[in-house]
Amino acid sequence: MSHPVAAQRARVRAWSPVVRIGLLGGVVAIYLCLVGIVPTFDERPLITGVISLGQASLLLAALATGYLAAQRSPDPRRSVEILAGALAGGLGGSFLAVLVLLGSVVNLRAVLLHASPELYEILTFGMGTAWFWVPIAVGATAGGLAAFSASLPDALRRPLVWGIAGVVFMGLFAGYLRTPMLTTALAPAARFLFAPEGLTVAGAVLVFVITAGAVALQPRLAIDRRYAALPPAGQRTVLVPALALGLVIVLLFPFAFGPFFAMAVATVAIYVLMGFGMNITLGLAGLLDLGFVAFFAVGAYTVGLLTSTGEFGLAGWPWWAAVPFAVLFAMMFAAFLGLPILRIRGDYLAIATLGFGEIVRLLAGSDLLKAWLGGPQGILNIPKPIPVPPNHPLSGPVQIYYIALACALVVAFVAWRLRGSRLGRSWMAIREDEDVAEATGVNLVQTKLLAYMLGGAFAGLGGAVFAGLVNSIFASSMALFVSINVVALVVVGGMGSNPGVVVGAIFLIGLPELFREFSEYRYLLYGVALIAIMLYRPIGLLPSKITRRELYSAEELEATAESAISPARPAAS
Amino acid sequence: MTTISPGGEAADPAAARPPGPPPGQGGRRASVRPIERLTDLAIAAFLWAFRIVVLLVVVVGSIATLASGKYSLETWVDLIENGLTLGSIYALIALGYTMVYGILRMINFAHGDIFAGGAFAGYFVAVALAGAGLLNANPVASLLSVGLMIVVAMAASTLMAVGLERVAYRPLRNAPRLVPLISAIGASFFLEYTYRGLFGPGIYAYPDVAVLGEAVPVPILNMQWVDVLVIVSALLMMTVLYLFVMRTRLGTSIRAVSEDRDAAALMGIDANRAIVLTFAVGAAMAGAAGVLYGLKFTQVYFYTGFYPGIKAFTAAVLGGIGNIPGAMLGGLFLGLIESVGPTLFLDGLNVPSPNQLKDVIGFTMLVLVLVFRPSGILGERIARGRA
């Protein structure tokens, strides 16, 4: 403090968080460019004639950089915060400027596919590489603006942020909303809101105003507080119609946005069904099964063999008659696999099941079983569960959606009733501590085997429904990815929580299906989303109440214990 | 266990412990209900049947194949060589899995993609060197070029792994057990599709290194120099790694933190540094393996890492996870059995196109080892001390 040099150094050091955010923003911007998001989506408008999706991704990165930098500003004065935002944004932009300069000298394209002249055109707004400073200016401006908005009072800031989010969301999904609206009385509204791709300018303004307005009014309405203030009977009178309305919306889903959307929701429903099954194996009994797809395959192939009218069909039964056998065989298969491996604990079980899943997939596609299972060509001509003419409202994925929903409800009911039963409590005891559970009289192998078999049965049901959905099954559909997806959606949703499974399935299965337009980038986003959810919400998006309570009380306990034992323990993060 | 208890390790005391005594041996429970007795018997019978079937396939298949005389000695030598080459690569990748699992009890699902990153880095160096005319100038230049490729690939992989650890794993170090696994799966997707975005979906063919394609002048062996390079450099690196872990102070710190992180911290060891070092060393091995893989199999694309990654993890488990010599042995064993197995065991049984089933054999070995010797071939260092 007393020494002027030291004081100055401290003042400079106070800016280091801002600089770090700027550097991070620059890395993100470079990544967006080089991985191809910016150049690939330069043609796809978010708001037609104003901004493309590629540009929007960079702009959002700059805004986020400025916003975060403002929060780390060394001084709470507004002018300093704006300066911090502009500095971070400009620093991020300078990365792009360097990229443009470097690209004009060296041919980066030999290594990086997307470091093309088109990219540099986009970054300089078509002015050529002499205008390399443009990204710096844009970044600084956007950063400054974001910092300014960050310094606004809460009542203004939240509607602003949500309004932008609303515009981005509607712009992303414009195609899905526009096409079905055009066929109905809403066609004029669709033309007003949406261009063939993305929003119109007027539409963007309208969406922004509506979203921002709703968010701004939300604290005044205080719906949740009013609801909580109601007496129990009053709560019920609100809740029952709300649930009924929700049910009607869920039932109308496949009709709302056309056949493609129906396919997506049917897939989600199948994963929900399997997720409920996995919730028993993993959520209740704590058995991590990375070979879930094996039972899925048994169910699908059973249905395929029993119902197919094609080459490999054995009986030509209707779908409904084959389903009980599919479930039964999947369950028996689970018992068959479970017997040897359920003595294995923890991660080893995961790997053993992963091995089984791969063995099943490889055998199904091999020449060894080709005479029975069709090898890589698979089993074709599986009939639909409900035979209807092509233009019937129940044709295609729509009926599968309802069937999968019904099955999911059954599974959810079973899981819910089991949870409180003696068996369910034994499972949870095993999950918490195998040795203690065994000491208190739980038969480990039997109990685990039951959990494994039930999970397998539900996976088999999922496979049976899947066979009805796609009408042909191939060994390549039985990929490890299916098992990983099911485990991931259970964990992302919140382990042991059935509503969590639904949320997880919508998030991890539904969104990537809808993002098909963005081809392979959706898996990139999938990966980022998995990491982000685990970092910021490790208990899942919608954890069960018990989990939340257990986790928080345990955390508090541990915190006190830790501070008592090892106060000098190095920070973990 | 896998769920909600924070501080995964404390709540998971017996995760990797070998199972209790097999059923039917010594009725340690005094009052066993008949139904339990029956399940135990059924399981015992099942396990025996499993063993007998596998043994029958192996023995009968081998005898039938050998008796048929379809394959000459040269074929067998070829298969074994191929197996050793592939196995050395698996072993190098498996080291990263085993060390990370040993220190964090975490399956680093993205490790295979780190390996692929090394393969890409090596590819671009090779292309640059070939462009400069250095790659095939003379044998010494070729060898130096390959050395440079390996060094760059090691550096690239290490950088990626350390970054990944910092972003995706470190914040989750005390989270419930499944959380880092899911994060690692996410990281694996992220890396794969980042490669796809950066380099495109095409398959890159490694440039030819003429010297490595030449045959080794030893009769019967019928080896190419590339096989020698892969096996020798893998063995060399594994020896260096082993000495590093067992003989140096840094290696000792890694082992100490694997043994007990809290106690190691109390002894003044920087646990964070040891963990980062583990990731770095494992990734360096994987990066080198990437270049060797590229030289041997001559191609790389964004999905290259996935299956070798899973195989290498299998190898790590086969050898006894957490055990460094075990990973080496497991890798070699898996490579051998994958290469020789289909022909030796299945061809004699008239299985059509047995090579399709090489992975089935590999995964069956995995399940067998897990069921009958869960501590792996070499036993497991962490199993006893940790329980």
Looking up residue B104, the CATH number of its domain turns out to be 1.10.3470
The verdict on a CB contact (< 8 Å) between B357 and A370 is: no
- State the smallest CA–CA distance between residue B363 and chain A in angstroms: 5
Per-residue pLDDT tens for A43-85? 788 887 778 888 888 888 888 888 888 888 877 788 888 888 8
Strand extents, DSSP E, A273-413:
none
Domain identity same for A215 and A304: no
The verdict on a CB contact (< 8 Å) between B188 and A113 is: no
- Contact, B19 vs A344, CB < 8 A? yes
User: Residue A231, Cβ neighbours under 10 Å: how many?
Assistant: 8
Interface test with A, best of B28, B39, B111, B185 (most A CBs within 10 A): B185
- State the smallest CA–CA distance between residue B232 and chain A in angstroms: 30
Whose CA is closest to B237, among B84, B120, B95, B376?
B95
> Least CB-CB distance to A344: which of B50, B364, B371?
B371
Q: According to the model, what pLDDT value does residue A246 have?
A: 83
The verdict on a CB contact (< 8 Å) between B371 and A340 is: yes
pLDDT at A22 over 60: yes
Tokens linked to B285: 């091995």
Whose CA is closest to A43, among A102, A118, A99?
A118
Q: Which amino acid is at A468?
A: G
| Residue A120 in domain | yes
- Contact, A129 vs A104, CB < 8 A? yes
> Least CB-CB distance to A528: which of B6, B180, B190?
B190
Q: Which residue has the higher pLDDT, A346 or A301?
A: A301
The verdict on a CB contact (< 8 Å) between A524 and B124 is: no
Domain end point (choices A221, A250, A266): A221
pLDDT at B14 over 70: no
Tokens linked to A221: 């309405």
Per-residue pLDDT tens for A158-167? 888 888 888 8
Q: According to the model, what pLDDT value does residue B154 have?
A: 94
> Least CB-CB distance to B47: which of A340, A344, A529?
A340
The verdict on a CB contact (< 8 Å) between A534 and B192 is: no
Chain A residues touching B4 at Cβ < 8 A: 495-496, 539, 547, 550-551, 554
**Cβ-based burial of B205 (10 A; exposed 0-12, middle 13-18, buried ≥19):** exposed
Chain A residues touching B199 at Cβ < 8 A: 111-113
Chain A residues touching B43 at Cβ < 8 A: 339-340, 445
Cα–Cα distance, B152 to B301 (Å, whole number): 18
| Residue B146 in domain | yes
Domain identity same for A29 and A177: yes
The verdict on a CB contact (< 8 Å) between A288 and B2 is: yes
Most confident of A376-390, A408-422, B3-17, B278-292: B278-292
What is Dmax (Cα atoms) for chain B? 79
Phi, psi of A473 (to 5 degrees): -125, 140
The verdict on a CB contact (< 8 Å) between B363 and A358 is: yes
Domain identity same for A333 and A214: no
Chain A residues touching B300 at Cβ < 8 A: none
pLDDT at B22 over 60: no
| Residue A84 in domain | yes
Cα–Cα distance, A35 to A413 (Å, whole number): 45
pLDDT at B387 over 60: no
- State the smallest CA–CA distance between residue A29 and chain B in angstroms: 14
Mean pLDDT score, A218-238: 75
Cα–Cα distance, B66 to A146 (Å, whole number): 75
Domain identity same for A217 and A295: no
Mean pLDDT of chain A: 81
- Contact, A544 vs A284, CB < 8 A? no
| Residue A396 in domain | yes
The verdict on a CB contact (< 8 Å) between A431 and B352 is: no
Q: According to the model, what pLDDT value does residue A155 have?
A: 80
> Least CB-CB distance to A359: which of B171, B189, B360?
B360
Torsion of Cα atoms, B161 then B165 then B166 then B169, to 10°: 160
> Least CB-CB distance to A362: which of B179, B180, B360?
B360
What percent of chain B stands above pLDDT 70?
89
Q: Could you give the C-alpha distances from A62 to A130, A169, A528, in angstroms and in order? A: 22, 18, 19
Chain A residues touching B42 at Cβ < 8 A: 339
Q: Which amino acid is at B336?
A: L
Cα nearest neighbour of B269 on chain A: A570
| Residue A106 in domain | yes
pLDDT at A547 over 80: no
Mean pLDDT score, A394-410: 82
Q: According to the model, what pLDDT value does residue A554 have?
A: 53
Place of tokens 């699992």: B101
| Residue A344 in domain | yes
Cα nearest neighbour of B180 on chain A: A534
| Residue B51 in domain | no
The verdict on a CB contact (< 8 Å) between B183 and A531 is: yes
> Least CB-CB distance to A551: which of B4, B266, B366?
B4
Interface test with B, best of A99, A359, A489, A560 (most B CBs within 10 A): A359
Cα–Cα distance, A281 to A341 (Å, whole number): 14
Please give the residue range of the domain that contains residue B153. 85-332
The DSSP symbol for B216 reads P
Q: Could you give the C-alpha distances from B162 to A78, A358, B106, B368, in angstroms and in order? A: 37, 30, 15, 34
The verdict on a CB contact (< 8 Å) between A339 and B127 is: no
- State the smallest CA–CA distance between residue B362 and chain A in angstroms: 9
The verdict on a CB contact (< 8 Å) between B1 and A110 is: no
Chain B residues touching A566 at Cβ < 8 A: 262, 265-266
Q: What is the CA radius of gyration of chain A?
A: 28
**Partner residues linked to A473 by β-bridges:** A379
The verdict on a CB contact (< 8 Å) between B19 and A573 is: no
Mean pLDDT of chain B: 81
Cα–Cα distance, A271 to A507 (Å, whole number): 11
Pairing mode, strands B204-205 and A51-52: unpaired
Number of domains observed in the structure of chain A: 2
Per-residue pLDDT tens for A508-537? 888 887 777 777 788 888 888 888 888 888
Q: Tell me the pLDDT band of A36, cut-offs 50, 70 and 90.
A: confident
pLDDT at A147 over 90: no
Q: Tell me the pLDDT band of A556, cut-offs 50, 70 and 90.
A: low
The verdict on a CB contact (< 8 Å) between B271 and A288 is: no
Place of tokens 């007393």: A2
> Least CB-CB distance to B370: which of A112, A344, A570?
A344
Q: Could you give the C-alpha distances from B16 to A459, B261, B385, in angstroms and in order? A: 27, 17, 11
Per-residue pLDDT tens for B158-192? 999 999 999 889 888 888 778 888 899 899 999 99
Classify A312 as helix, strand or coil.
coil
Cα–Cα distance, A92 to A65 (Å, whole number): 8
| Residue A282 in domain | no
Please give the residue range of the domain that contains residue A124. 4-221
How many interchain CB pairs under 8 A, A with B? 242
Interface test with B, best of A41, A343, A360 (most B CBs within 10 A): A343
Classify A46 as helix, strand or coil.
strand
- Contact, A167 vs A207, CB < 8 A? yes
- Contact, A78 vs A149, CB < 8 A? no
Chain A residues touching B352 at Cβ < 8 A: 367-368, 370
Chain B residues touching A523 at Cβ < 8 A: 189, 192-193
Cα–Cα distance, B254 to B324 (Å, whole number): 12
Cα–Cα distance, A298 to A303 (Å, whole number): 9
The verdict on a CB contact (< 8 Å) between A555 and B6 is: yes
Tokens linked to A445: 């192998």
Cα–Cα distance, A452 to B359 (Å, whole number): 25
Chain A residues touching B24 at Cβ < 8 A: none
The verdict on a CB contact (< 8 Å) between B356 and A443 is: no
**Cβ-based burial of A182 (10 A; exposed 0-12, middle 13-18, buried ≥19):** middle
Q: Which residue has the higher pLDDT, B186 or B28?
A: B186
- Contact, B124 vs B258, CB < 8 A? no
pLDDT at B241 over 60: yes
| Residue A212 in domain | yes
Interface test with B, best of A531, A539, A563, A566 (most B CBs within 10 A): A531
Cα–Cα distance, A271 to A419 (Å, whole number): 21
pLDDT at A41 over 70: yes
Domain identity same for A351 and A445: yes
Number of domains observed in the structure of chain B: 1
| Residue B18 in domain | no
Per-residue pLDDT tens for A253-301? 777 666 777 788 888 888 988 898 888 888 888 888 888 899 999 999 8
Q: Tell me the pLDDT band of B282, cut-offs 50, 70 and 90.
A: very high
The verdict on a CB contact (< 8 Å) between B363 and A111 is: no
Q: Which amino acid is at B63?
A: I
Q: Which residues contact B161 (CB under 8 A, 6 or more apart)?
A: B96, B111, B114, B279, B280, B282, B283, B286
* Helix (H) or strand (E) run with residue B225 in it: helix B225-247
| Residue A283 in domain | no
Domain identity same for A214 and A315: no
The verdict on a CB contact (< 8 Å) between A531 and B272 is: no
The verdict on a CB contact (< 8 Å) between B174 and A569 is: no
Chain A residues touching B15 at Cβ < 8 A: 345-347
The verdict on a CB contact (< 8 Å) between B175 and A111 is: no
Classify A402 as helix, strand or coil.
helix
Phi, psi of A379 (to 5 degrees): -105, 125
